[in-house]
Chains A and B, each alone.
Chain A
Amino acid sequence: MNAPVSWIKEYTDLEGISVKELCDALTMSGSKVERWTCEADEIKNVVVGEVLEMHRHPDSDHLWVCSVNCGGDKPIQIVTGAQNVSTGDKVPCALDGALLPGGKTISSGKLRGEVSDGMMCSLGELGLTVHDFPDCIEDGIAILDPSAEPGSDVCGVLGLDDTSIEFEITSNRPDCMCVSGLGREAAATFRKPFRFPEPQIRHASGSIEGMLSVKNETPENCLRYTAAIVKNVRVKPSPMWMRQRLRLCGVRPINNIVDITNYVMLEYNQPMHAFDYRNVKDSEIIIRQAREGEHIVTLDDIDRELTPDMMVIADSEKPIAVAGIMGGEYSGTYDDTNTVIFESACFNAVNVRYTEKGLGMKTESSVRFEKGLDPENTLRALTRALELVEELDAGDVVSGFVDIKGNIPERRTLLLEPEKINAFLGTDLPAEEMVSILRSLEFEVSDDMTVTPPSFRADILLMNDIAEEIARFYGYNNVPSTVMTGVATAQLTERQHFEKDLAMRLVSAGLYEVKTYSFMGTRTLDLLNEPSDGELRNAVVISNPFGDDTALMRTTLLPSMLEVVSRNVNARVASGSFFEIGVTFHAHEDTNELPDELKDLVIASYNSLGFYGVKGIVEDICRNANTETPVFTALTDSHLYHPGRAASVYVGDTLIGTMGELLPSVAANFNIKEKVTAAVISVEKLFAVRGGVRRFTPLPKFPAMTRDLAIVCDISVPSGAIEREIRIACSDILESISVFDVYTGDKVPAGKKSIAYSLVLRHKDRTMTDDEADTAIARSLKRLERIGASLRS
């Protein structure tokens, strides 16, 4: 909502208050100022010039050399190419050093040899249009009012020196979507009287009786309908003061009748409509719901289909307006309009919102109706319009008006309980102060503390609402700040702590955490080779997505992670290792059931960790969660991973995830040529298999024996199998077993490999002897024979 300062000042005394003070104070009392602008700030050193003489330029057949009185001691010379200037005209002259809108500057110079000490300006050069100044022409110099004083600042003459304030009006305060409403807030803010005179009609004649019949067939949705008639309409531009105010509010002036309806809307927050009497068939207005299949061509020339949920203003034959939103094509006013019907009505907010949605349109009118307007305001606004008709001599007002009331909700009353309000706000305000604030906002407060909010304040329902009004004008910043009493203990839940710890562990392992969007596209899963009946296809579908590639909620974190890898590869980042802990969404058949939201961990690394690097991290997070030792089994038939470089990760019987090198084709789907190793782990499952707090094992008292074993076996024999046999053979004296070398090549037979293990053997309660160690090793080798593995000779 934009409002000119001069207009706001009509409603209260703001003498001595600067624009900044006004804006700051209104912001702090709840009418937030977004910015303020003054057209004159962009126009400097442009004055009224009176053309004294003009003659043809000696070297040009279209230029004029003019002698202009710009208020100085002697006239100045200005050369112009405009053809609409005559001697005696008053014109805007940009003098040497002048500034024009858009940052353009003007300086003295010569035009084909003739000195020109300035420039005469057109409307466009001053940032204006013929809508603002209909007496001027589009492509010529703006001719000013003959009374303009030569030398005076053109901004004053054209009314460009007013400041327009842009307010952010919240949806609960439709009463502030008009200048009088803002004036009321300003008055209350500065504790000054609010001036809002009752409009008066002085010269009405004849009678509306018999000229118009109005029927309200939908009293639920049309709370009140008032109308009046103006005859002998004299359509012409409205006066400058009105055009100026409209312009500063961002509304384009059209003609006096349209401008009056817009002016009243801006002043009273009452959208109005003017129908040409000729086009209202049978002089009959019916407010009703639209009929099935009914159409209307609205003023913007669009044919719209209506549904019975929408309310229309109709004549005896057809809809002539969509109620509260826009008129129909025949309902406007034209140059030959003779008689108009002014409508000032109050429509149900929800119905207007419904219609807006249905038609996909919002207008200056509908954004007001949708927030709920004051049924008490319609007649007063209508009277104001008629007052303006008289003031502007725009037609002859017919006596009387139509006033049809629908289901107007009853006015609410509340009890003002000062001690409750003080207890709620944490303040210590005297009751009189509260009453004084409320009264300044036109709340009626009776002696028994019954509060009746004004009819335009439908947002006031409860004690809290009253408390806010009081707090706003007492000053939010005058309300004390206190520390809450009462004991409260808080800590992260075990699960929250687990996730944080998991993230920190991954960070210390050298991974970078990423955050990606939770959407995926309809084709995203194809990029992962997910089968058409795969589990990941069970996605939640967004009904109004931005596009195909963000139409689903993700069922896996992998695609967005691969996009991160791809982006980094493209940015020529040499290597990278990332993780994300995020929610995946798994739909149920019934979309009215909420999906399962499961947390996953995804890890991806390129040119860095490789299979064993990522495996080490997965092992580490299991160790950190104190799970049983995870078991990695070869995953050879995955649609995602390299068949020889992938594993399923089990903790006990629980499959907690998978990991491996991505298939080159999958990486290529994300434009990645590098090898990418990834792991997808269910945080839910990892949490489920977590162990308790780790227990301390007393440090050994007796020395250990170390034995290194190089074992030769077929390449296909997994190290895990060898390790398992050794563990069984050595049982409880095996403290640890680790691999320190894997070899394939010339020194072992073809098809074989050699794995070197380091075993640490120890007794808990005595020193181990060489013999015991040798026996254990012998037992191990014996067992290894079963799987075709033997000591390397």
Chain B
Amino acid sequence: MAIKETLDRIREEALSAIKAADAESAIEDLRVRYLGKKGELTAILKQMGTLPAEERPLMGQLSNDVRKDIEALIAERSSELRQKAQELRFRAEALDVTLPGTDPHIGSRHPLETVLDDIKEIFLGMGFNVAEGPEVEFDHYCFEMLNMPKHHPARDTQDTFYINDNVLLRTQTSSVQIRTMLAQKPPIRIISPGRVYRVDTVDATHSPIFHQIEGLVVDKGITMADLKGTLAEFIRKLYGADIKVRFRPHHFPYTEPSAEMDMECFRCHGEGCSLCKGEGYIEILGCGMVRPEVLEGCGIDSSVYSGFAFGVGADRITMMRYGINDLRVLFENDMRFLQQL
């Protein structure tokens, strides 16, 4: 039974050598030594021919078992070692996760543009196209066709920069509404965002240049209830579904009825705080039903069509959104400001 003894010995030797091996390369050496073409087990198999025929299957079986045992242990041990090596590598590669990430070097949009974009998106979703028009504008479009002839007292509230008697820097983007109504038949649903100019000295809340978004709807059967529903929806989309609004009578020469919309102070929710000056509400926009004279002036039959118009100050909304307490900051463009928002 020399072969059997030899096989047992090989198994014993191999298994203890594999167990002792501490590197994958050592395992490989052992695999070659025992299982390789010139390995010990192969050498034994070559002696099988010398065995009596009845012993051969038994020895064959035994040598297979030995091979399997060795293979199994090699697989197990090398997996262990790989695992161990990997653990070591991971330990060596470990990073200080508290170190800062790499700056992706991305700039930012100006907060005013972000707000304008948000507002545009809300109105696009409600079917309003975005209309644009010139900033240097005819008096005719900015005032006269909006029911504010040359000596109208309401012009006092919009102190104007003039180029000459007929040309001025628009004080409101309502001029775009006039241009749209002259160019397009109802139904009309537009907003007109843009720069407007008024003679106002610069301070924390005033600027000779600011940004407005005005809107106009003209169609058959447009009601004041539509105005209220649309604008309340706009504010809910901008500030959240639970924001309450209220409408107060006001006066604009080109709308009647006219209103100002207040929204419940988003900071104190109506309790009254420093932001809303104790009122619980913040004035947010002006609006109203377009006066028939304005429609007729643009060639729209006011007995068939009605509409509403509104105007929002984007600068104020930007200031409120980001908690900016000084309008000048928006136009100073300090990097440390731009990087914050």
Interface of A toward B, CB cutoff 8 Å: 27-30, 32, 170-173, 349-350, 353-354, 370-371, 423-427, 462-465, 467-468, 471-472, 476-477, 479-493, 496, 500, 503-504, 506-519, 540-546, 550, 553, 564, 567-568, 571, 573, 576-579, 583, 585, 591-592, 594-595, 597
Interface centre among B189, B306, B332, B339 (most CB of A within 10 A): B332
Q: In the complex the two chains form, what is the Cα distance from A207 to B81 in whole Å?
A: 128
Q: In the complex the two chains form, what is the Cα distance from A508 to B105 in whole Å?
A: 8
B166: chain A residues within 8 A (beta carbon): 592
Q: In the complex the two chains form, what is the Cα distance from A350 to B229 in whole Å?
A: 38
B169: chain A residues within 8 A (beta carbon): 542, 553
Q: How far is the CB of A78 from chain B (nearest CB, A)?
A: 38
Can you report 5 A-B residue pairs in the complex whose CB atoms are below 8 A from each other?
A171-B152, A476-B246, A490-B128, A544-B161, A591-B167
B292: chain A residues within 8 A (beta carbon): 462-464
Q: In the complex the two chains form, what is the Cα distance from A208 to B89 in whole Å?
A: 116
Q: How far is the CB of A419 from chain B (nearest CB, A)?
A: 13
Q: In the complex the two chains form, what is the Cα distance from A545 to B219 in whole Å?
A: 40
Flag if A490 contacts B105 (CB, 8 Å). no
A511: chain B residues within 8 A (beta carbon): 107
Q: What 1/0 mask marks residues of chain B from 313 to 341 whose CB sits below 8 Å from any chain A CB?
A: 00000000000000000111111101100
Q: In the complex the two chains form, what is the Cα distance from A545 to B208 in whole Å?
A: 10
Flag if B223 contacts A423 (CB, 8 Å). yes
In the complex where A350-B151, A482-B223 touch, is A490 in contact with B251 (Cβ < 8 A)? no
Flag if A482 contacts B257 (CB, 8 Å). no
In the complex where A472-B249, A484-B217, A488-B187 touch, is A496 in contact with B107 (Cβ < 8 A)? no
Residue of B nearest to A24 (CB): B279
15 more CB-based (< 8 A) A-B contacts, given A28-B246, A481-B229, A571-B334: A29-B249, A170-B251, A171-B152, A353-B151, A370-B153, A426-B223, A427-B224, A468-B258, A482-B226, A488-B127, A506-B107, A508-B107, A514-B338, A591-B163, A594-B138
B106: chain A residues within 8 A (beta carbon): 507-508, 510
Q: Does B124 contact A (CB under 8 A)?
A: yes
Flag if A516 contacts B134 (CB, 8 Å). no
Flag if A483 contacts B127 (CB, 8 Å). no
Flag if B257 contacts A467 (CB, 8 Å). yes
Q: How far is the CB of B38 from chain A (nearest CB, A)?
A: 41
Flag if B127 contacts A507 (CB, 8 Å). no
B151: chain A residues within 8 A (beta carbon): 349-350, 353-354
Flag if A467 contacts B247 (CB, 8 Å). no
A506: chain B residues within 8 A (beta carbon): 107
- Across the interface, B127 reaches (CB within 8 A) one of A464, A489, A496, namely A489
Q: What 1/0 mask marks residues of chain B from 218 to 238 whose CB sits below 8 Å from any chain A CB?
A: 010111111011101100000
Q: In the complex the two chains form, what is the Cα distance from A585 to B135 in whole Å?
A: 9
- Across the interface, A171 reaches (CB within 8 A) one of B110, B123, B154, B199, namely B154
Flag if A515 contacts B330 (CB, 8 Å). yes
Flag if B251 contacts A512 (CB, 8 Å). no
Q: In the complex the two chains form, what is the Cα distance from A573 to B113 in whole Å?
A: 23
Residue of A nearest to B110 (CB): A513
Q: Does B250 contact A (CB under 8 A)?
A: yes
Flag if A32 contacts B130 (CB, 8 Å). no
Residue of A nearest to B256 (CB): A464
Q: In the complex the two chains form, what is the Cα distance from A173 to B250 in whole Å?
A: 10
In the complex where A515-B110, A546-B208 touch, is A479 in contact with B224 (Cβ < 8 A)? yes
Q: Does B35 contact A (CB under 8 A)?
A: no
Flag if A542 contacts B162 (CB, 8 Å). yes
Q: How far is the CB of A237 from chain B (nearest CB, A)?
A: 35
Flag if A544 contacts B248 (CB, 8 Å). no
Residue of A nearest to B209 (CB): A517
Q: Does B195 contact A (CB under 8 A)?
A: yes
Q: Does B18 contact A (CB under 8 A)?
A: no
- Across the interface, B224 reaches (CB within 8 A) one of A424, A492, A550, namely A424
Q: Does B289 contact A (CB under 8 A)?
A: yes
Residue of B nearest to A508 (CB): B106
Flag if B219 contacts A486 (CB, 8 Å). yes
Q: In the complex the two chains form, what is the Cα distance from A195 to B226 in whole Å?
A: 38
Q: How far is the CB of B194 from chain A (nearest CB, A)?
A: 9
Residue of B nearest to A550 (CB): B208
Flag if B164 contacts A482 (CB, 8 Å). no
Q: Does B157 contact A (CB under 8 A)?
A: yes
Q: Does B203 contact A (CB under 8 A)?
A: no
Q: What 1/0 mask marks residues of chain B from 94 to 112 whose CB sits below 8 Å from any chain A CB?
A: 0000000000011111101
Flag if B199 contacts A515 (CB, 8 Å). no
- Across the interface, A425 reaches (CB within 8 A) one of B127, B223, B336, B338, namely B223
Residue of A nearest to B261 (CB): A476
Q: In the complex the two chains form, what is the Cα distance from A353 to B153 in whole Å?
A: 8
Q: What 1/0 mask marks residues of chain B from 184 to 206 whose CB sits below 8 Å from any chain A CB?
A: 00010100000101010100000
Flag if B331 contacts A515 (CB, 8 Å). yes
Flag if A483 contacts B163 (CB, 8 Å). no
In the complex where A465-B256, A472-B249, A513-B108 touch, is A480 in contact with B129 (Cβ < 8 A)? no
- Across the interface, B257 reaches (CB within 8 A) one of A464, A553, A583, A585, namely A464
Flag if A464 contacts B107 (CB, 8 Å). no
B 36-89 contacts with A by CB, 8 A:
none
A519: chain B residues within 8 A (beta carbon): 208-209
Q: Does B264 contact A (CB under 8 A)?
A: no
Q: Does B117 contact A (CB under 8 A)?
A: yes
Q: In the complex the two chains form, what is the Cα distance from A30 to B333 in whole Å?
A: 40
A371: chain B residues within 8 A (beta carbon): 153
Residue of A nearest to B161 (CB): A542
- Across the interface, B137 reaches (CB within 8 A) one of A489, A508, A594, namely A594
Q: How far is the CB of A529 from chain B (nearest CB, A)?
A: 24
B339: chain A residues within 8 A (beta carbon): 512
A543: chain B residues within 8 A (beta carbon): 161-164
A476: chain B residues within 8 A (beta carbon): 228, 246-249, 257, 259
B248: chain A residues within 8 A (beta carbon): 27-28, 30, 32, 476
Flag if A496 contacts B130 (CB, 8 Å). yes
Q: How far is the CB of B113 from chain A (nearest CB, A)?
A: 6
Q: Does B11 contact A (CB under 8 A)?
A: no
Residue of B nearest to A426 (CB): B225
A32: chain B residues within 8 A (beta carbon): 248, 250
Q: What 1/0 mask marks residues of chain B from 112 to 149 whose CB sits below 8 Å from any chain A CB?
A: 11000100100110111110101111100000000000
Flag if B225 contacts A480 (CB, 8 Å). yes
Flag if B134 contacts A468 (CB, 8 Å). no
Q: In the complex the two chains form, what is the Cα distance from A493 to B136 in whole Å?
A: 22
In the complex where A543-B163, A592-B164, A592-B167 touch, is A583 in contact with B135 (Cβ < 8 A)? yes
